[in-house]
Amino acid sequence: TPLRPGDVRQLDPDFWNHRVQPLLQPGGVQLRQRELTEWGMEPLTFTTADGLRELKPSGRRIEVSDANKEEYAQLLCEDFLIGSVRAELGCLVLGFHELIPQEQLVAHNLDAEQLRMLVCGVAEIDVDEWEGNAVVEGSRQVAGWFFDWLRKRPQEARSKLLAFTTGSSVLPSGWKGLRDPNGQLLPFRVLVQGNE
């Protein structure tokens, strides 16, 4: 799967908001080119964010326009994410595909989480520990039924549920490792609404 500009939005919102998104807006390229001219700078071309490398052959001579802004955004974001380790990542991918051919990955339509589970395995998730660290809002009896049901599920199903609710099918460092982007503890919550 090729990298998408949206991948940068998640990794570095500032780069996305100031370097990529404005260009993708209607009239954004013309506005940026006009600003660069007013500031006495060279027009925007197919070069990296630091201007040191071309994003494609003869990139320094290709000005960004409405017609090619999508390609520019794609190449710029790809370079931002993997530019400095492109050769190393290429070797890793080649080695990975020697073990698991790309055709097999495509044929089985694996998503990123399934591939991660295939490569890393499924963590043992202790439901008693899960229940003990959960914050229950509402009926504890109904929440207990949920955990009783969860105990009957195989590890893979538990991992998938954990991935669905937290974004990760493994615990980074136990239940206390679940934290928000600011580092605040983010316990697993069970919210029971309605009548029992």
Sequence spans of domains, the chain: 5-85, 127-192
What confidence score (pLDDT) does residue 164 get? Answer: 86
What confidence score (pLDDT) does residue 47 get? Answer: 93
Question: 144-159 burial, b if ≥16 CB within 10 A, otherwise e?
Answer: eeebeebeeeeeeebb
38-53: average pLDDT:
91
> Please, what sign has the CA dihedral across residues 109, 111, 116, 121?
negative
> Please, what sign has the CA dihedral across residues 148, 153, 157, 158?
positive
Q: Would you say the pTM of this structure is higher than 0.85?
A: no
Hey, what are 132's tokens?
């003990």
Q: What is the pLDDT of residues 118-170, one digit of tens each?
A: 776 557 888 998 999 899 999 999 999 999 999 999 988 888 888 888 877 77
What confidence score (pLDDT) does residue 3 get? Answer: 65
Q: What is the pLDDT of residues 57-106, one digit of tens each?
A: 999 999 999 999 999 998 998 888 888 787 888 898 888 888 888 888 88
**3-state DSSP assignment of residue 124:** coil
Tallying the residues shown for the chain, one arrives at: 196
Q: Taking Cα atoms as reference points, which of 93, 94, 88, 57 lies closest to residue 75?
A: 57
